[in-house]
Structure 1
Amino acid sequence: MSTTLNSKELTLVYDGSTSEGKKALAYAYSLAPRVNKQDVNEVSLSSTFVRQVVKQLNLRPKDLLNRAHPYYQAHVRGRDLDMEGWLHVVVRNPQLWKAPVALLGDRAVLCEPASLIYTLAEAQRKAQ
């Protein structure tokens, strides 16, 4: 199941206030004519959407988190949470995401560094 409505539309979940977020957005526009921008400072992500993103990335929710972030260190570090608990942390604290996430069709990539977004285009070309 794809998180995007259109297989030709690239969805980018990013923090527009960070340099990595801005780079990923610029790369996204160089890859796809249509970019569905999901700036975590402007939109609320649903737990269903985040669950699907995690599934497409083949990661655990806590793998999306920047463990060096001061909020993580003060409020999350050392907590033993189940899958739903980690999803809750990820949804409620999008500023903790360690990198932008790009989705295209049924593929997703954690853009760490931002230039990894180009692997989506390569995968898309190989699939066609």
Structure 2
Amino acid sequence: MGVIAMDKKQITLYYSSENSIGKQLNAYVESSGKDHLTIDISKTNVTGTQWAELAEGLGKDVSDLVNTDLPDFMETYGENYVDLDNDGWLKILDKNPRFLKNAIVIKGDKYIELTSASDYKQYIDPDSAGIEKPYK
């Protein structure tokens, strides 16, 4: 059993308000009229256990959650390949939440990585026929 609560009727969004996509996704979720929980990682501490669970739910390593292509990341950690263990990547997300690569939505027991605001409409909002599109 994980530490992140899951509810079939609730959308949970992990995002950073320090980037425009995160702000847009938060606006979509807030205005959706659906039960939701939004977690702005820039303002709310996400534990290492939660990060690990999010990564596992997405079928990724914790390192895959970090956007190493950001100029700020390269300035802080260098432009060369950064080789860290999971604890190192967790510390990066803890100290620099702006380095989160993409927003993450949990709906029921499904974890979905959202790379754009249109992803929210595609994977979370029902289409015009009222049928939800399948998850990736």
Structure 2 length-normalised TM: 0.76
Partner SS, residue 106 of structure 2: strand
Question: Which position in structure 2 is the counterpart of 1:25?
Answer: 26
Which range is displaced more, 72-81 or 99-108?
Answer: 72-81
Q: What do the CA deviations read for 1:13-68 (whole angstroms, capped 9, x no partner)? A: 11224221122113324556221111122211111111110000111112112222
Deviation at 1:96, TM superposition (A): 0.2
Name the residue aligned to 1:101: 104
Distance in 2 (CA, whole Å) between partners of 1:39 and 1:116 is 18
Residue 84 of structure 2 aligns with which residue? 81
Give the match's secondary structure for 2:34: coil
Given that 2:67 and 2:100 are in contact with CA atoms closer than 8 Å, whether structure 1 keeps it comes out as yes
One-letter amino acid of the counterpart of residue 102, structure 1 = V
- What amino acid is the match of 2:123? T
Cα distance in 1, alignment partners of residues 25 and 53 from structure 2: 20
Alignment RMSD, CA only?
2.6
Matching residue's letter, 2:60: L
- Closer/same/farther in 2, CA of residues 37 and 85 from structure 1, 3 Å limit: same
Name the SS for the 2:39 alignment partner.
strand
Q: Distance in 1 between matches of 2:54 and 2:26?
A: 18
User: When the two structures are superposed, what TM-score results if normalisation uses the length of structure 1?
Assistant: 0.80
Q: Is the 8 A contact 1:11 1:104 kept in 2?
A: yes
Which secondary structure does the structure 2 equivalent of 1:74 belong to? Answer: helix
- The alignment partner of 1:13 has SS state of strand
Contact 1:101 1:111 in 2 (8 A): yes
Partner of 2:37: 36
Task: Give the corresponding residue for 1:59.
Answer: 60
Native 8 Å contact 1:102 1:110 kept in 2: yes
Residue in structure 1 matched with residue 95 of structure 2 by the alignment: 92
* Number of positions where the alignment pairs a residue of Structure 1 with one of Structure 2: 127
Native 8 Å contact 2:66 2:89 kept in 1: no
Deviation, structure 1 residue 112: 0.6
1:119 aligns with 2:123: yes
Structure 1 runs not aligned, ≥5 long: none
| Greater Cα radius of gyration, structure 1 or 2 | 2
Q: Distance in 2 between matches of 1:55 and 1:32?
A: 29
